[in-house]
Structure 1
């Protein structure tokens, strides 16, 4: 249940990603951006700068200061050409992270921008820019944001448009950082479909953070290290999921590439992405220490690399998903429960630690996500080994059959090492996974799977009887 609390924190973002998958796609550019990265040593510490210069003339940049001693702030200026400038950002209602509205302010009417990630738009320039962040590195993939030390961006006018004065504080042991994506063209078509609502959910402000080394979300209290202002680097990037499955904005095309490239840096040589913090309940229940393998997060991230492989035709993205698939095959062979039937099936354990652990449970949603990923790998790479493994995992689900269904018609969340079932399933996440598995089954075999249909119908009736709104729309 404690793992599920974390997932509920990002469930709305995930549902938006599902909606985005059903929007029509535009063609992505397959040209490779020019990437530059520099580390400059100063008396006070190190300045790290990163740039992606795209063939469409867009520019992504990031500046990060790693301070070794206190010093005067680092100040630089960003020119924004054009007139009639506005800043569009999330304004939270009563400090509630789940409730926000767009607020648009005129750059001619303000001296400083609010402390928020947002969009600067003039008649000549569009910029998605983060607020200047200050944080402490707590270790184990966790940062603590220092909200009280952050400095607002000053806005000044000149004959060409606007000049932004950006101040990054320099405090010993802390990191200051800011990033932006600049374009001469429209970054987001706010009047198209549900883009305005979607971007309210894709928040990189208070619920999530984009940083030099990846995507961070608010830390659950069951993770260590933890405090009220801590964020942890999650293996599966839900913002990237929305970008990679749609081409309906310049940001999707540009930042999809940036985020995939960044995620490559944290992929282990074995092929997976670690969950770096300590999960107190996994440690207690299964003896799992920090730096473990989570099948759902990893399959989700590997699926994004598969999509990136298709979209950008980038060899390093293709290699990343294949490398993970090899790792997962080994994990499945070593960490599964045999389920007997006409064809012996496997239920693959949700977690593993490189130093070993007790056998863990198998969540139905994890198992389905693994099947879906393997089927998609089979279809793209035409490697029958992926299909054979997917079938073995599907046999595991089939051989359990109706035992997945609870007396209320809902589904059991998990199968446990002792052969029992339990825990409350998600309202709609597993249902959506089932729909995707059935869809892939129809496309590959030409028929529907009887067991999957049984589980889908039972869950659907349960959802309807409990008046649960499913963002997938089924």
Structure 2
């Protein structure tokens, strides 16, 4: 892992002047300070004045560690700085001016400056808080603040007539004291004052009037480190603090940025704080901070831009007391893409793991994702249903960073190209997210290998993944992405957390429960939101519909991990789904075999009335759920329905087995056995059925063993190997003799 060690040393040399003579070298005193700015280099002409005024607390840099010397100063900012320079006592708030409220930053200091007429107001009731300060107003402010008088003959100004009569004397005095200057005889009174001009003149006035010593400070800045893609923004920006004092987060944009609301959602085991902002009037930024009971949190940001203009928003997070940091990148393990044709998944993996060491020796970490630009696609149907997905435009790395002294600032840029949606995420923890470097590197390697089955595009509403070509509304590019219920639940993360206890996987599982809850949207069962053109052509089914396999897997996810993660009512999805399966006979969603035997259909349409096929993996999965519900709740109706399915399999066992030993994929409503089965998935289901019937009724085991042996033999003949789940399952039921030959796989093919 490559480390980026970042150090900042800011020193200044105090050079004493005695009787107009510079002090000898032995009188030079060196000191250090933590003050540093990204846009004020050693060569900057007013560096010393800016840094000294900052040390005295008279002026401030922006909260993104920039001073922006060429940005013009407002009357409000000038009033605050003058009040601080003169150490004026704060004035209790008094609603004199319509544009100064109790919420106005440093309102008491502004009022103190206005009480002694340091900065001219626009009118009796309006100060002009955010108006740009003009040069003539600044001259007036300086003379009023420091009580300076004329010392020389009047200086000729070619645009004298343009100066307001109330400010002419002040302009002359400011020029005579060389606080301000003309340019080729022109004063340009209505021009705005830049921050650097304000700082330079204010510094001179303080020295001139003996309010500071006049000692010359020479600041030396060394080794301010930034990432290669870090960029300075010299122009004026809008900066809003989101939340958190310990880990301050800011929203930044050059466009108008207005806070519009906050919502808090408590899920019991997690909390969502949702902040919304308008950007450039019509665009909307939503930042969701999803915090968990372990103290970690996801930060999801989404920029929705309905216009054609480019909009850029930065999410900034600052960490203090940082002595060292490193970035472990996923692209240390390149993805090997076997297919690069049109419509192939172009997403990859997160950027990497940002680790930083605090001055107390503790380590904090942040997993940083990439940004995804997309367009929303929706297809409405006449029956009231609709299918939705996103058309992916790009995946972009957005992390940049800078470290000054002990402050580490990371920047996450959301850049909309217009008429699009931009999503970004990261996971933050005050502890290491992995127990060891080995665990971290192993996850990165696994993610590169199985990138199509690992989530990388997270949003506050769930992860998006590549949809198969047989879904609609598929964009012309073929890059259609949607929320797949099987990938919303983090099965692999759950397994790794149980095995390794890494916080990162714990957070992924917590997040999965929130996403499943959000996806369900108060409905009784989980419904798909994407239409399968395969099902549409066969049965005229469109979204939404209930996929039995999806609901089965979600029920298992809750049942197998809910107690570990303190999820309220974690057994209820198992009961609810078992109840749904029991009700299918009455609803007609079955393929009848005889009076006592039937298969339950794979799909239950919401808006259409039709019976679909039954695939072996769905049939087994539903039967297994019924057996688990019977063992858990003891209700005979679950066992009765499970027996109806198992006796159907008993009757048709020979029909399910193909000539090559594989299992047919499905039985059609016309009672035809057709289709190529999944490589490993059905064997995993058969093993689970064997295990459950062993606890309920062993008379069914020979049939299940026969199917296991046949499927395993086919996998061996094709050298397709086995999954870790197959190995563990066969070992548990004492049938390891059927372990297929070939390589071991992490994920079922």
How much does 1:448 deviate? Answer: 6.3
Distance 1:205 1:45 in 2: 32
Structure 1 partner of 2:401: 155
Partner SS state of residue 311, structure 1: coil
Structure 1 partner of 2:376: 137
**TM value normalised by structure 2:** 0.53
The answer to which of 201-210 and 444-453 deviates more is 201-210
Contact 2:330 2:352 in 1 (8 A): yes
Contact 1:257 1:308 in 2 (8 A): no
Partner SS state of residue 563, structure 2: helix
1:441-466 per-residue CA deviation (whole Å, 9 max, x = no partner) reads 22344676111011011111221122
Report the structure number with the largest CA radius of gyration.
Answer: 2
Matched, 1:47 2:288: no
Structure 2 partner of 1:35: 272
Matched, 1:295 2:548: yes
Cα pair distance change 1:352/1:385, threshold 3 Å:
same
Structure 1 partner of 2:297: 59
1:415-454 per-residue CA deviation (whole Å, 9 max, x = no partner) reads 1112221112222211111011111222344676111011
1:11-54 per-residue CA deviation (whole Å, 9 max, x = no partner) reads xxxxxxxxxxxxxxxxxxx9823332333445233222222323
1:185-228 per-residue CA deviation (whole Å, 9 max, x = no partner) reads 22234425965544445648997532221232212111111133
The answer to which of 323-332 and 410-419 deviates more is 323-332
Corresponding residue to 2:393 among 136, 143, 146 = 146
Structure 1 partner of 2:590: 336
The answer to which of 199-208 and 264-273 deviates more is 199-208
Matched, 1:453 2:453: no
Structure 1 partner of 2:647: 395
Contact 1:46 1:66 in 2 (8 A): yes
Distance 1:96 1:366 in 2: 30
Matched, 1:236 2:486: yes
The answer to which of 88-97 and 238-247 deviates more is 88-97
1:66-88 per-residue CA deviation (whole Å, 9 max, x = no partner) reads 22333541112123545141232
Give the number of the structure with larger relative contact order, counting CA–CA contacts within 8 Å between residues 6 or more apart. Answer: 1
Distance 2:557 2:626 in 1: 13
Cα pair distance change 1:64/1:290, threshold 3 Å:
same
How much does 1:301 deviate? Answer: 2.0
Matched, 1:176 2:426: no
The answer to which of 40-49 and 277-286 deviates more is 40-49
Cα pair distance change 1:50/1:408, threshold 3 Å:
same
Contact 2:559 2:570 in 1 (8 A): yes
Partner SS state of residue 37, structure 1: strand
Contact 1:97 1:206 in 2 (8 A): no
Q: CA RMSD in A?
A: 3.0
Matched, 1:73 2:312: yes
Structure 2 partner of 1:216: 464
Give 1:276-315 correspondences, 5 Å limit: 276-315=529-568
Matched, 1:376 2:628: yes
Distance 1:125 1:258 in 2: 20
Give 1:93-108 correspondences, 5 Å limit: 93=335, 95-96=337-338
Contact 2:277 2:286 in 1 (8 A): yes
Distance 2:575 2:277 in 1: 35
Structure 2 partner of 1:274: 527
Segments of 5+ residues of structure 1 without an aligned counterpart are 1-29, 99-113
Partner SS state of residue 519, structure 2: coil
Structure 1 partner of 2:130: none
Matched, 1:411 2:657: no
Give 1:244-255 correspondences, 5 Å limit: 244-245=494-495, 246-247=497-498, 248=500, 249-255=502-508
Corresponding residue to 2:324 among 75, 83, 86 = 83
How much does 1:256 deviate? Answer: 0.8
Cα pair distance change 1:285/1:401, threshold 3 Å:
same
Distance 1:470 1:205 in 2: 17
Distance 2:706 2:328 in 1: 50
How much does 1:93 deviate? Answer: 4.2
Cα pair distance change 1:448/1:416, threshold 3 Å:
closer
Contact 2:398 2:412 in 1 (8 A): yes
How much does 1:340 deviate? Answer: 2.7
How much does 1:338 deviate? Answer: 2.1
Cα pair distance change 1:405/1:71, threshold 3 Å:
closer
